[in-house]
Amino acid sequence: MSAVKKSIVVEQLRKAQLLQLLSKGNRMDGRGPLDYRPITVETHVIEKAEGSARVTIGNTQVIAGVKVDLGDPFPDTPDKGLLIVNAEVLPLASPYAEPGPPDEDAIELARVVDRGVRESQMLNLSELALLPGKRVYAVFVDVSVLNVDGNLFDTTSYAVVAALATTRMPGYTVVNGEVKKTGETPPLPIQTIPVSVTMARIGDVIIVDPTSEEEAVMDARITLTSDGRGNLCAGQKGQSGTLTFEHVMFAAQTSRAKGEEIRELLRKGVGSAKV
């Protein structure tokens, strides 16, 4: 991610060309400013995971897998299940990715995606407490980024959402104060489908779903996530450029509008899972 920015030689000519196109409302790949690249959503791709999804946006490709286990609740939320989101930009995903623990970009990625899921209350974490204060469901969502071509935030977010929405977890119940396996595999308590929309400012233009090439020349990035009820639930401005107040309000509006479109697409992608 940042490696991409640093390492791709930002050809000034290419940027000039890109800006010229954008000033006419066009992009290098023919899209309009507010068009996404094709999005594919494939679920149940990892049989050993309780939920999984492979999502591609253009050439960006991500797999999310969900493991559900029992765990101890956090002391400050004794009556809630655990949700842990991790992301790794694998070294096979780009010539600039390196093996090793997640760097600041991968940590930001995981945390922004986590916030979208958590703050939208996609999962009813209260229903995931078995013995409040003692024993709760622990939902681990791990993301392996396989190919990077821009907009990791949205690709990862959609993969996480699709994997969670199609998860069938090992059922437990409490009998006489003891946690017992039921043998059933209920779905997670899904309440809504959050959708993140990532926008880039390049010069004076705001575009959605930037490619790696566009990210290399963008001034600022903003990701806003909406829930299914018209609320914004997470936001993150990124990069060392600025946004005007008008840009922010435009981004808020755009994230809701595009969010509705993509929510439909995700709903179809997760199929029978009722959300």
Partner 1 sequence: MGRLINESGLRVDGRRPDELRPIKVEIGVLKNADGSAYIELGKNKVVVAVYGPKEVHPRHMALPDRAVLRCRYHMSPFSTDTRKNPAPSRREIEISKVIREALEPSLMLSDYPRTAIHVYLEVLQSDGSSRVAGISAASVALADAGINMRDLVVGCSAGKVDGVVVLDLNDTEDKEGEADLPVSIMPNLNQVTLLQMDGMLSSEEFSKAFEMALTGCRKIYEVQRNALLTKYFGTSQPSQVEEE
Which residues contribute to the site for partner 1 (CB under 8 A)?
A: 45-49, 52, 59, 61, 63-67, 69, 75-76, 86, 88, 90-95, 99, 101, 104-105, 107-108, 110-111, 115, 118-121, 140, 142, 144, 146-149, 222, 224, 227, 230-245, 247-249, 252-253, 256
Give the count of beta carbons closer than 10 Å to the beta carbon of residue 70: 16
User: Nearest approach, Cβ of 5 to partner 1 (angstroms)?
Assistant: 12
Q: Which is nearer to partner 1, 161 or 224 (CB)?
A: 224
User: Nearest approach, Cβ of 46 to partner 1 (angstroms)?
Assistant: 5
Pair type for strands 178-181 and 195-202: unpaired
Q: Which is nearer to partner 1, 107 or 174 (CB)?
A: 107
* Rounded CA separation 179/70 (Å): 9
User: Nearest approach, Cβ of 71 to partner 1 (angstroms)?
Assistant: 11
Whose tokens are 């990069």? That residue is: 239
User: Nearest approach, Cβ of 272 to partner 1 (angstroms)?
Assistant: 21
User: Nearest approach, Cβ of 138 to partner 1 (angstroms)?
Assistant: 9
* Rounded CA separation 59/147 (Å): 7
Q: Which is nearer to partner 1, 99 or 177 (CB)?
A: 99
Q: Which is nearer to partner 1, 64 or 262 (CB)?
A: 64
Q: What are the φ/ψ torsions at residue 207 (nearest 5 degrees)?
A: -120, 160
Q: Which is nearer to partner 1, 88 or 214 (CB)?
A: 88
Q: What are the φ/ψ torsions at residue 86 (nearest 5 degrees)?
A: -125, 150
Query: Helix, strand, or coil here: 19?
Result: helix
Residue 221, sorted as left (phi over 0), alpha (psi -120 to 50) or beta, turns out to be: beta
User: Nearest approach, Cβ of 90 to partner 1 (angstroms)?
Assistant: 6
Query: Helix, strand, or coil here: 213?
Result: helix
Q: Which is nearer to partner 1, 171 or 250 (CB)?
A: 250
* Rounded CA separation 169/185 (Å): 5
* Rounded CA separation 197/89 (Å): 20
Both tokens assigned to 83: 């949700």
* Rounded CA separation 55/196 (Å): 14
Pair type for strands 82-89 and 135-147: parallel
Q: Which is nearer to partner 1, 7 or 17 (CB)?
A: 7
User: Nearest approach, Cβ of 116 to partner 1 (angstroms)?
Assistant: 9
